[in-house]
Amino acid sequence: MLNETIRVAGVIPECVVNAPGGISYVIFAQGCKHNCPGCHNPETHDFNGGREWKVKDLLIDIEKYPLSNIVAFTGGDAFFQPNSFYELAKKLKEKQYTLVAYSGFYFEELIKDGARKKLLYEIDILIDGPFLQKQKDRNLNYRGSRNQRILDVKKSIEENQAVIMKKYYESMK
């Protein structure tokens, strides 16, 4: 399983802006079919772009940066590679990392899809929903448009509904 590959557009090993809660190792997943008009990372859409990393090599690289106790999956969208990201996420949770994922899918869609649900269950914080230009707002933390939410995944699963993490919302509209 650790030999599974993930298609990656790039990584930022120590980042203070991409994930709520602290310093994160950010993985930009390569491949996205949401095609949100105005997307900031169109170069991550092509499923043949970027490069392949073995899960085990990503793990080795992540552990080189002990300041990053959060790992963030952004993109692209990791939920288009749910099986290999699940293998990585499972190992990271065993090592006590906090996992943050950005997705163009909403929580309610992810929870209904077998493979995506399995990955979702490993995630701690989900920033969900497509980027919608009509709801674009530069004042939001971690989100580009007002439809997107910052969710506590464990509580959302427990309560079977999306539970937002108010502490990360600086400007609620």
Q: Which of 25, 105 has the CB closer to ligand SF4?
A: 105
For 144, counting Cβ atoms within 10 Å of its Cβ (0-12 exposed, 13-18 middle, 19+ buried), the class is: buried
Binding of ligand SF4 by 41 (CB under 6 A): yes
Strand 149-152, strand 125-128: pairing:
antiparallel
Q: Which residues contact 83 (CB under 8 A, 6 or more apart)?
A: 4, 115
Binding positions for ligand SF4, 119-138, rule CB under 6 A = 130-131
* CB-nearer residue toward ligand SF4: 46 or 57: 46
Which one of 72, 104, 110, 123 is in contact with ligand SF4 (CB under 6 A)? 104
| Alpha-carbon distance values, 97 to 59, 70, 137, 164 (Å) | 11, 6, 30, 21
How many residues sit close enough to ligand SF4 to count as binding (CB under 6 A)? 13
- Contact status: 56 vs ligand SF4 (CB under 6 A): no
Longest Cα pair distance anywhere in the chain, in angstroms?
44
Binding ligand SF4 (rule: CB under 6 A), the pick from 26, 27, 36, 140 is: 36
Strand 51-54 with 5-15, pairing: antiparallel
Is the Cβ of residue 8 or residue 91 nearer to ligand SF4 in the bound state?
8
Binding site for ligand SF4 (CB under 6 A): 32, 34-36, 39, 41, 44, 75-77, 104, 130-131
